């Protein structure tokens, strides 16, 4: 399988986003990245789209659905939304859309900050393996991977993609 | 050593929080970092996260408290737990039996966490040893022994103002003898690497073996405050003093009360802390308590974040482990 470089995928995401925004007549959207990889992708997109408001970041650790199984993540970071999200059009950014559980958690967290006008989901990579009905509005690329494969974004400078084969254990 | 095992699970993660003693530096830093993340929750419109949804937290207080109980309650509610407040009046006889009976009853109601304050040292430890395996116990103060969450609140406040611990001089002033807060603070400060910990107070209120804890003992306030970065004032615990250890509150204030003049002996950017409640005009002058160096009210706000952190860290997985699932979930889904 040939992986495109993150740069090419980001360029594609930026142009798709511009189209979507003009189609929806959305002006001045605000962007939120999900820690950690999603923040890297969002930082790059935020720059390309030259958005006015500073970038927001979410750590979804407090909203995970597997807390009672794995406990608290030792590396939780603060969420920071440096703007009021009420009635705003939000672009939610992550690196990989896999099971959909991270996005579910991020949506719940966002709504605890207010009631946005809309949320657009933009991800670098959409891969197979969805467990809940969530799909991306904008995707850099789509990959058909089996459950033994993991795609990882490494960063923050430079961004690169790595395909890992998980061994059973 | 036994205490250490009791507080940690087999993955060395926090399962009860009873004392700072014996906990490693990394774990204390993890508590501070996690608390830092929880400070964001109070900026949300909905000041709640769903981490402990469906869990029941019991405030089991055998000794009166307002601030500690309320901040524990608020912390539990911000984590979406259900909270039960039980104030058990102390009974002089049959304490062991009463305690165990209370415990069994609460277990039968399917509670998940006990927050225990008790006038006897070791009470929280005793409960942690005897409760069902799915229950976490947090010590909210036991006798003269420990008050670990208060100490972590103070460490959090110090870190926010001073960033690092390895270059600090910290003075703890007042009634060290009766203070479980002081004991926990000394353990936390030394674990976090503070090189100069001073305790200042009259001979009658400093334990004779204080220097074995690695602290410098001063009986003169002016001498002890020279060049310090942090001053922690302790409350005079009249209720725990059985004999005449002090001539009078007035005399105490004259010798050990913190005034603007005494404060000037410390560094320019010194912070003044107090675990509350303050006896104004006994431990410190109002002008200091409300002055620019005072961070006393910040300590109260930090109390909620620290308690949220400790509650969520102790309420991790219980019972059967799912090793395969754990491995998968730690990767981004």
- Helix then strand count (H, E) for chain B reads 13, 9
Q: Å from A115 to nearest chain B CA?
A: 10
> Does the residue A137 lie in any domain?
yes
How would DSSP label each residue in A66-94?
A: THHHH---TT----B--S--TT-EEEEEE
> Does the residue A20 lie in any domain?
yes
Total domain count for chain A?
Answer: 1
> Residues A37-54: pLDDT tens digits?
999 999 999 999 999 999
Q: Å from A23 to nearest chain B CA?
A: 30
Percentage of residues of chain A with pLDDT beyond 70: 98
Q: pTM here? A: 0.88
CB contact under 8 A, A112 and B48: yes
CA B217 to chain centre: 22
Give residue for tokens 């609140």. Answer: B153
Q: From A149, which residue of chain B is nearest by alpha-carbon distance?
A: B328
**ipTM higher than 0.85?**
no
> Does the residue A118 lie in any domain?
yes
> Does the residue A66 lie in any domain?
no
Cβ neighbours of A169 in B, within 8 Å: 324, 327
Residue B39 near chain A (CB below 8 Å) = yes
| B148-162 vs B25-38: helix crossing angle, rounded to 10 | 70
> Does the residue A72 lie in any domain?
no
Cα–Cα distance for residue pair B260/B267, rounded to 1 Å: 13
> Does the residue A53 lie in any domain?
yes
> Residues A87-135: pLDDT tens digits?
999 999 999 999 999 999 999 999 999 999 999 999 999 999 999 999 9
> Does the residue A100 lie in any domain?
yes
How does pLDDT run along chain B (333 residues), one tens digit per residue? 444 479 998 888 999 999 999 999 999 999 999 999 999 898 899 999 999 999 999 999 988 888 899 999 999 999 999 999 988 775 544 556 677 888 888 899 899 999 999 999 999 999 999 999 999 999 999 999 999 999 999 999 999 999 999 999 999 999 999 899 999 999 999 999 999 999 999 999 999 888 888 999 999 999 999 999 999 999 887 766 666 677 788 889 999 999 999 999 999 999 999 998 898 999 999 999 999 999 999 999 999 999 999 999 999 776 433 333 333 333 444
Cβ neighbours of B38 in A, within 8 Å: 62
Cβ neighbours of A67 in B, within 8 Å: 51, 312, 316
3-state class of B45 per DSSP? coil
- Say which CATH number the domain at A149 has: 3.40.50.2020
Range of the domain at A124: 6-60+78-165
Look at residues A104, A143, A151, A106 and name the one whose alpha carbon lies nearest to residue A126.
Answer: A143
How would DSSP label each residue in B105-164?
A: HHHHTT--EEEEEESSTTHHHHHHHHS-TT-EEEEEEETTTB-HHHHHHHHHHHHHHHS-
> Does the residue A102 lie in any domain?
yes
């Amino acid at each position: 399988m040939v992986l495109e470089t993150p740069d090419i995928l980001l360029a594609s995401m930026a142009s798709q986003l511009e189209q979507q925004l003009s189609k929806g007549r959305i002006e001045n959207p605000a962007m939120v990245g999900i820690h950690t990889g999603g923040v890297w992708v969002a930082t790059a997109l935020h720059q390309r789209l030259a958005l006015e408001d500073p970038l927001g970041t979410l750590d979804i650790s407090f909203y995970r659905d597997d807390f009672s199984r794995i406990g608290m993540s030792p590396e939780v970071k603060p969420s920071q939304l440096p703007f009021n999200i009420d009635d705003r059009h939000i672009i939610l950014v992550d690196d990989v859309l896999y099971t959909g559980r991270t996005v579910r958690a991020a949506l719940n967290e966002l709504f605890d900050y207010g009631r946005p006008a809309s949320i657009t989901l933009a991800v670098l990579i959409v891969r197979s393996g969805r467990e809940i009905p969530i799909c991306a509005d904008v995707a850099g690329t789509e990959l058909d991977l089996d459950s033994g494969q993991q795609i990882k974004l490494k960063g923050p400078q430079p961004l690169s993609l790595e395909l890992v084969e998980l061994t059973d254990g | 050593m036994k205490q250490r095992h009791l507080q940690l699970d087999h993955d060395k993660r926090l399962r009860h929080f009873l004392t700072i003693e014996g906990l490693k530096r990394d774990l204390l830093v993890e508590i501070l970092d996690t608390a830092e993340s929880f400070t964001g929750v109070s900026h949300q419109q909905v000041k709640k996260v769903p981490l402990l949804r469906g869990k029941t937290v019991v405030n089991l207080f055998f000794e009166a408290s307002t601030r500690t109980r309320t901040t524990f309650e608020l912390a539990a509610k911000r984590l979406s737990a259900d909270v039960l407040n039980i104030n058990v009046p102390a009974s002089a006889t049959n304490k062991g039996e009463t305690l165990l009976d209370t415990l069994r009853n609460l277990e039968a109601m399917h509670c998940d966490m006990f927050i225990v304050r008790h006038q006897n040292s070791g009470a929280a430890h005793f409960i942690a040893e005897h409760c069902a395996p799915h229950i976490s116990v947090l010590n909210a103060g036991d006798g003269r022994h420990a008050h670990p969450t208060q100490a972590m609140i103070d460490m959090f406040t110090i870190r926010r103002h001073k960033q690092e611990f390895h270059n600090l001089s910290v003075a703890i002033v007042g009634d060290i003898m009766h203070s479980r807060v002081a004991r926990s603070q000394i353990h936390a400060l030394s674990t976090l690497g503070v090189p100069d910990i001073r305790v200042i107070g009259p001979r009658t209120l400093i334990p004779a073996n204080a220097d074995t804890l690695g602290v410098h003992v001063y009986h003169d306030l002016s001498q002890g405050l020279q060049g310090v970065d942090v001053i922690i004032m302790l409350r005079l615990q009249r209720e725990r003093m059985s004999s005449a250890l002090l001539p009078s509150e007035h005399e105490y204030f004259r010798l050990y009360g913190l005034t603007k003049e005494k404060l000037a002996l410390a560094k320019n950017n010194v912070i003044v802390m107090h675990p509350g409640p303050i006896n104004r005009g006994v431990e410190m002058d109002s002008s200091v308590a409300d002055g620019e160096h005072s961070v006393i009210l910040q300590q109260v706000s930090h109390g909620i974040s620290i308690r949220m952190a400790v509650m969520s860290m102790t309420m991790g997985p219980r019972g059967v482990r799912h090793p395969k699932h754990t491995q998968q979930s730690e990767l981004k889904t």
